[in-house]
Copies of this chain bind each other. A is one copy, B any other.
Amino acid sequence: MSIRIGIFGYGNLGRGIESAIRQNPDMELVAVFTRRDPASLSIRTEGVPVISAQEADQYTDRIDVMILCGGSATDLPVQTPMLAKLFNVVDSFDTHARIPEHFAKVDDAAKQGDKVAVISAGWDPGMFSLNRLYASAVLPDGKDYTFWGKGVSQGHSDAIRRVEGVADAKQYTIPVDAALEAVRSGSCPDLGVREKHTRECFVVAKEGADLARIEREIKEMPNYFADYDTTVHFIDAETFLRDHKGIPHGGFVIRTGKTGFSGEHNHVIEYSLKLDSNPEFTASVIVAYARAAARLAQKGDFGCKTVFDIAPALLHPAAAEDLRKNLL
Protein backbone atom coordinates (compact mmCIF):
# COMPACT_ATOMS: atom_id res chain seq x y z
CA MET A 1 0.00 0.00 0.00
CA SER A 2 1.43 3.36 -0.90
CA ILE A 3 2.27 6.13 1.53
CA ARG A 4 -0.33 8.85 1.07
CA ILE A 5 1.25 12.30 1.06
CA GLY A 6 -0.22 15.78 1.51
CA ILE A 7 1.70 18.92 0.56
CA PHE A 8 1.03 21.95 2.75
CA GLY A 9 2.17 25.07 0.87
CA TYR A 10 2.95 25.17 -2.84
CA GLY A 11 6.03 27.30 -3.56
CA ASN A 12 9.41 26.11 -4.88
CA LEU A 13 9.68 23.48 -2.16
CA GLY A 14 6.10 22.24 -2.58
CA ARG A 15 6.65 21.81 -6.32
CA GLY A 16 9.90 19.96 -5.52
CA ILE A 17 7.95 17.56 -3.28
CA GLU A 18 5.37 17.01 -6.02
CA SER A 19 8.10 16.11 -8.47
CA ALA A 20 10.03 13.94 -5.96
CA ILE A 21 6.92 11.88 -5.20
CA ARG A 22 6.88 10.80 -8.87
CA GLN A 23 10.33 9.25 -8.39
CA ASN A 24 9.13 7.14 -5.45
CA PRO A 25 6.65 4.47 -6.60
CA ASP A 26 5.69 3.64 -3.00
CA MET A 27 4.24 7.15 -2.55
CA GLU A 28 1.12 8.84 -3.74
CA LEU A 29 0.16 12.52 -3.69
CA VAL A 30 -3.32 12.92 -2.18
CA ALA A 31 -3.82 16.68 -2.01
CA VAL A 32 -2.08 20.04 -2.02
CA PHE A 33 -3.15 22.51 0.68
CA THR A 34 -2.81 26.23 0.21
CA ARG A 35 -3.63 29.44 2.05
CA ARG A 36 -4.32 31.07 -1.32
CA ASP A 37 -7.59 30.66 -3.17
CA PRO A 38 -7.42 26.98 -4.26
CA ALA A 39 -8.99 27.89 -7.59
CA SER A 40 -6.03 30.18 -8.33
CA LEU A 41 -3.51 27.35 -8.06
CA SER A 42 -2.69 24.98 -10.85
CA ILE A 43 -0.52 21.99 -9.98
CA ARG A 44 1.32 19.50 -12.17
CA THR A 45 -0.30 16.24 -11.07
CA GLU A 46 -3.57 15.42 -12.78
CA GLY A 47 -6.52 14.41 -10.63
CA VAL A 48 -5.02 15.69 -7.37
CA PRO A 49 -7.19 18.31 -5.67
CA VAL A 50 -6.00 21.67 -4.33
CA ILE A 51 -7.66 22.29 -0.98
CA SER A 52 -7.90 25.31 1.28
CA ALA A 53 -5.44 25.07 4.20
CA GLN A 54 -8.42 25.68 6.49
CA GLU A 55 -9.90 22.33 5.52
CA ALA A 56 -6.83 20.22 6.18
CA ASP A 57 -8.37 18.76 9.34
CA GLN A 58 -10.93 16.96 7.18
CA TYR A 59 -8.12 14.93 5.60
CA THR A 60 -6.70 13.21 8.66
CA ASP A 61 -7.95 9.78 7.51
CA ARG A 62 -6.73 10.17 3.96
CA ILE A 63 -3.13 11.29 4.51
CA ASP A 64 -0.30 9.29 6.07
CA VAL A 65 2.26 12.10 6.08
CA MET A 66 1.73 15.83 5.63
CA ILE A 67 4.80 17.62 4.27
CA LEU A 68 5.06 21.24 5.38
CA CYS A 69 6.57 23.53 2.77
CA GLY A 70 6.32 26.91 4.49
CA GLY A 71 9.15 29.19 5.56
CA SER A 72 11.08 28.93 8.81
CA ALA A 73 10.69 32.56 9.82
CA THR A 74 6.95 32.72 10.43
CA ASP A 75 5.14 29.72 8.85
CA LEU A 76 6.66 26.60 10.37
CA PRO A 77 6.87 27.79 14.01
CA VAL A 78 3.06 27.95 13.92
CA GLN A 79 2.13 25.31 11.33
CA THR A 80 4.28 22.38 12.45
CA PRO A 81 2.98 22.25 16.05
CA MET A 82 -0.56 22.83 14.82
CA LEU A 83 -0.51 20.09 12.19
CA ALA A 84 1.57 17.61 14.23
CA LYS A 85 -1.49 17.09 16.43
CA LEU A 86 -3.44 15.87 13.41
CA PHE A 87 -0.93 14.31 11.02
CA ASN A 88 2.46 12.70 10.84
CA VAL A 89 4.48 15.62 9.48
CA VAL A 90 7.89 16.47 8.04
CA ASP A 91 9.26 19.99 7.87
CA SER A 92 12.56 21.58 6.85
CA PHE A 93 12.81 24.13 9.67
CA ASP A 94 16.25 25.65 9.15
CA THR A 95 16.73 28.42 11.69
CA HIS A 96 19.55 26.58 13.49
CA ALA A 97 19.45 28.71 16.64
CA ARG A 98 15.75 28.09 17.20
CA ILE A 99 15.72 24.32 16.64
CA PRO A 100 15.61 23.39 20.38
CA GLU A 101 12.53 25.58 20.92
CA HIS A 102 10.83 24.29 17.76
CA PHE A 103 11.62 20.70 18.75
CA ALA A 104 10.02 21.13 22.18
CA LYS A 105 6.79 22.59 20.82
CA VAL A 106 6.47 20.04 18.03
CA ASP A 107 7.29 17.15 20.38
CA ASP A 108 4.44 18.17 22.71
CA ALA A 109 2.00 18.43 19.85
CA ALA A 110 3.00 15.14 18.21
CA LYS A 111 2.78 13.26 21.50
CA GLN A 112 -0.67 14.74 22.15
CA GLY A 113 -1.84 13.45 18.80
CA ASP A 114 0.07 10.13 18.77
CA LYS A 115 1.88 11.30 15.65
CA VAL A 116 5.44 11.33 14.31
CA ALA A 117 6.95 14.71 13.44
CA VAL A 118 10.29 14.93 11.67
CA ILE A 119 11.72 18.45 11.79
CA SER A 120 14.66 20.07 10.03
CA ALA A 121 14.96 17.58 7.18
CA GLY A 122 16.87 18.83 4.16
CA TRP A 123 20.56 19.22 3.55
CA ASP A 124 21.59 21.82 6.15
CA PRO A 125 20.09 21.07 8.57
CA GLY A 126 19.82 17.50 7.35
CA MET A 127 22.44 15.61 5.37
CA PHE A 128 25.17 18.02 6.52
CA SER A 129 24.11 17.58 10.15
CA LEU A 130 24.30 13.80 9.78
CA ASN A 131 27.80 14.08 8.43
CA ARG A 132 28.87 16.40 11.25
CA LEU A 133 27.52 13.88 13.75
CA TYR A 134 28.95 10.70 12.20
CA ALA A 135 32.35 12.31 11.66
CA SER A 136 32.62 13.69 15.17
CA ALA A 137 31.51 10.41 16.73
CA VAL A 138 34.17 8.55 14.76
CA LEU A 139 37.00 11.07 15.18
CA PRO A 140 36.56 12.61 18.64
CA ASP A 141 39.98 14.24 18.53
CA GLY A 142 39.32 16.49 15.55
CA LYS A 143 37.60 19.55 14.21
CA ASP A 144 34.90 20.01 11.63
CA TYR A 145 34.17 22.72 9.14
CA THR A 146 31.10 23.46 7.04
CA PHE A 147 31.39 25.45 3.82
CA TRP A 148 28.43 26.49 1.69
CA GLY A 149 28.33 27.02 -2.04
CA LYS A 150 28.84 27.70 -4.71
CA GLY A 151 25.17 28.55 -4.52
CA VAL A 152 22.40 31.06 -4.36
CA SER A 153 21.50 32.54 -1.00
CA GLN A 154 17.84 33.58 -1.18
CA GLY A 155 18.12 35.74 1.93
CA HIS A 156 21.07 37.69 0.57
CA SER A 157 19.45 38.04 -2.85
CA ASP A 158 16.34 39.44 -1.15
CA ALA A 159 18.46 41.88 0.86
CA ILE A 160 20.00 43.26 -2.33
CA ARG A 161 16.60 43.62 -3.96
CA ARG A 162 15.58 45.92 -1.09
CA VAL A 163 18.35 48.40 -2.00
CA GLU A 164 16.93 51.45 -3.74
CA GLY A 165 17.45 51.37 -7.49
CA VAL A 166 17.76 47.57 -7.74
CA ALA A 167 15.36 45.85 -10.15
CA ASP A 168 16.56 42.27 -9.58
CA ALA A 169 19.52 40.52 -7.98
CA LYS A 170 21.07 37.17 -7.24
CA GLN A 171 23.79 36.48 -4.70
CA TYR A 172 26.18 33.52 -4.83
CA THR A 173 28.03 32.31 -1.76
CA ILE A 174 31.40 30.85 -2.76
CA PRO A 175 33.75 28.86 -0.53
CA VAL A 176 37.37 30.07 -0.62
CA ASP A 177 39.56 27.38 -2.23
CA ALA A 178 42.58 28.19 -0.07
CA ALA A 179 40.48 27.68 3.07
CA LEU A 180 39.17 24.33 1.80
CA GLU A 181 42.73 23.21 1.08
CA ALA A 182 43.97 24.34 4.50
CA VAL A 183 41.17 22.38 6.18
CA ARG A 184 41.83 19.23 4.12
CA SER A 185 45.53 19.40 5.04
CA GLY A 186 44.59 18.59 8.64
CA SER A 187 46.16 21.77 9.98
CA CYS A 188 42.88 22.66 11.78
CA PRO A 189 43.11 26.35 10.89
CA ASP A 190 41.10 29.00 12.74
CA LEU A 191 39.16 30.60 9.93
CA GLY A 192 37.35 33.91 10.20
CA VAL A 193 34.14 34.62 8.33
CA ARG A 194 35.98 36.49 5.56
CA GLU A 195 38.45 33.66 5.04
CA LYS A 196 35.84 30.95 4.46
CA HIS A 197 33.45 32.45 1.92
CA THR A 198 33.22 35.24 -0.63
CA ARG A 199 29.98 36.75 -1.93
CA GLU A 200 29.32 37.50 -5.58
CA CYS A 201 26.31 39.60 -6.56
CA PHE A 202 24.65 39.98 -9.95
CA VAL A 203 22.46 43.07 -10.00
CA VAL A 204 20.05 44.48 -12.56
CA ALA A 205 19.76 48.22 -11.80
CA LYS A 206 16.73 50.34 -12.57
CA GLU A 207 17.08 52.89 -15.37
CA GLY A 208 19.16 55.86 -14.25
CA ALA A 209 20.05 54.42 -10.83
CA ASP A 210 23.32 55.46 -9.15
CA LEU A 211 25.42 52.30 -9.57
CA ALA A 212 28.24 53.45 -7.31
CA ARG A 213 25.80 54.06 -4.46
CA ILE A 214 24.11 50.67 -4.97
CA GLU A 215 27.45 48.89 -4.92
CA ARG A 216 28.52 50.77 -1.78
CA GLU A 217 25.22 50.07 0.01
CA ILE A 218 25.48 46.36 -0.77
CA LYS A 219 29.10 46.03 0.30
CA GLU A 220 28.55 47.91 3.55
CA MET A 221 25.33 46.13 4.54
CA PRO A 222 25.88 44.87 8.11
CA ASN A 223 25.51 41.10 8.80
CA TYR A 224 24.82 40.34 5.14
CA PHE A 225 27.91 41.65 3.33
CA ALA A 226 30.14 43.92 5.45
CA ASP A 227 32.11 40.99 6.90
CA TYR A 228 32.84 39.41 3.49
CA ASP A 229 34.84 40.13 0.39
CA THR A 230 31.95 41.02 -1.88
CA THR A 231 31.94 41.52 -5.64
CA VAL A 232 29.10 43.32 -7.39
CA HIS A 233 28.43 42.89 -11.13
CA PHE A 234 25.85 45.01 -12.89
CA ILE A 235 24.22 43.15 -15.76
CA ASP A 236 21.22 43.75 -18.02
CA ALA A 237 17.88 42.04 -17.50
CA GLU A 238 18.33 39.75 -20.49
CA THR A 239 21.67 38.39 -19.26
CA PHE A 240 20.18 37.99 -15.79
CA LEU A 241 17.32 35.87 -17.08
CA ARG A 242 19.62 33.79 -19.26
CA ASP A 243 22.42 33.06 -16.78
CA HIS A 244 20.91 33.39 -13.32
CA LYS A 245 17.50 31.80 -13.31
CA GLY A 246 18.57 28.61 -11.52
CA ILE A 247 18.78 27.97 -7.78
CA PRO A 248 21.95 25.89 -7.50
CA HIS A 249 23.64 25.26 -4.16
CA GLY A 250 25.86 22.84 -2.32
CA GLY A 251 28.79 22.79 0.03
CA PHE A 252 31.22 20.77 2.06
CA VAL A 253 31.39 19.21 5.52
CA ILE A 254 34.97 18.29 6.34
CA ARG A 255 36.30 16.83 9.56
CA THR A 256 39.95 16.10 10.16
CA GLY A 257 41.12 14.21 13.20
CA LYS A 258 43.95 12.23 14.71
CA THR A 259 44.23 8.67 15.94
CA GLY A 260 47.01 6.54 17.43
CA PHE A 261 48.69 6.32 20.82
CA SER A 262 50.48 9.61 20.14
CA GLY A 263 47.94 11.08 17.71
CA GLU A 264 50.38 10.23 14.93
CA HIS A 265 47.85 9.47 12.18
CA ASN A 266 45.67 12.01 10.39
CA HIS A 267 42.34 11.34 8.74
CA VAL A 268 40.11 13.43 6.52
CA ILE A 269 36.37 12.78 6.17
CA GLU A 270 34.73 14.90 3.49
CA TYR A 271 31.11 15.10 2.38
CA SER A 272 30.06 17.37 -0.42
CA LEU A 273 26.98 18.27 -2.40
CA LYS A 274 26.75 19.92 -5.81
CA LEU A 275 23.12 20.66 -6.50
CA ASP A 276 21.50 22.09 -9.63
CA SER A 277 18.34 22.82 -7.69
CA ASN A 278 18.39 23.55 -3.98
CA PRO A 279 14.59 23.20 -3.46
CA GLU A 280 14.34 19.97 -5.46
CA PHE A 281 17.20 18.33 -3.57
CA THR A 282 15.77 19.50 -0.24
CA ALA A 283 12.44 18.04 -1.33
CA SER A 284 14.11 14.72 -2.18
CA VAL A 285 15.56 14.48 1.33
CA ILE A 286 12.20 15.38 2.88
CA VAL A 287 10.38 12.72 0.89
CA ALA A 288 12.82 10.04 2.09
CA TYR A 289 12.15 11.19 5.67
CA ALA A 290 8.39 11.09 5.00
CA ARG A 291 8.83 7.37 4.32
CA ALA A 292 10.62 7.05 7.66
CA ALA A 293 7.87 9.02 9.41
CA ALA A 294 5.20 6.66 8.06
CA ARG A 295 7.18 3.62 9.23
CA LEU A 296 7.84 5.08 12.69
CA ALA A 297 4.13 5.85 13.04
CA GLN A 298 3.28 2.24 12.18
CA LYS A 299 5.59 1.12 14.97
CA GLY A 300 3.95 3.58 17.38
CA ASP A 301 7.21 5.46 17.93
CA PHE A 302 5.56 8.87 18.30
CA GLY A 303 6.95 12.34 19.04
CA CYS A 304 9.35 14.75 17.40
CA LYS A 305 12.40 13.31 15.63
CA THR A 306 15.34 14.73 13.75
CA VAL A 307 17.67 13.06 11.27
CA PHE A 308 19.78 12.06 14.29
CA ASP A 309 17.04 9.85 15.71
CA ILE A 310 16.15 7.92 12.58
CA ALA A 311 17.87 4.68 11.55
CA PRO A 312 19.09 4.98 7.94
CA ALA A 313 17.25 1.86 6.73
CA LEU A 314 13.90 3.58 7.42
CA LEU A 315 14.58 6.04 4.58
CA HIS A 316 14.95 3.45 1.85
CA PRO A 317 12.12 1.64 0.08
CA ALA A 318 14.02 -1.69 -0.12
CA ALA A 319 13.64 -4.41 2.50
CA ALA A 320 16.32 -4.75 5.19
CA GLU A 321 17.70 -7.98 3.72
CA ASP A 322 18.07 -6.40 0.27
CA LEU A 323 19.84 -3.39 1.74
CA ARG A 324 22.29 -5.70 3.53
CA LYS A 325 22.85 -7.68 0.36
CA ASN A 326 23.18 -4.81 -2.09
CA LEU A 327 24.37 -1.71 -0.25
CA LEU A 328 26.26 -2.88 2.85
Contact = CB atoms under 8 A, between A and B. Distances in A.
A272 interface: yes
Contact of A328 (B184, B266, B308): B308
Contacts of A284: 138-139, 259, 267
Contact of A100 (B136, B140, B324): B324
A139 B284 CA distance: 7
A39 interface: no
A86 B131 CA distance: 33
Interface in A258-286: 259-261, 264-277, 280-281, 283-285
A73 interface: no
A30 B272 CA distance: 39
B312 A324 contact: no
Contacts of A283: 259
Which among A24, A259, A266, A269 has the highest number of chain B CB atoms within 10 Å?
A259
Q: Find the residue from A132, A273, A276, A320 having the highest chain B CB count within 10 A.
A: A276
A313 B134 contact: no
Contact of A327 (B136, B184, B269, B277): B136
Copies of this protein, total: 2
A142 to B, nearest CB: 10
Interface string A292-328: 0000000000000011111111011100110111011
A273 B269 contact: yes
Interface of A: 16, 19-20, 22-24, 44, 96, 99-100, 103, 120, 125, 127, 129-134, 136-141, 184, 259-261, 264-277, 280-281, 283-285, 288, 291, 306-313, 315-317, 320-321, 323-325, 327-328
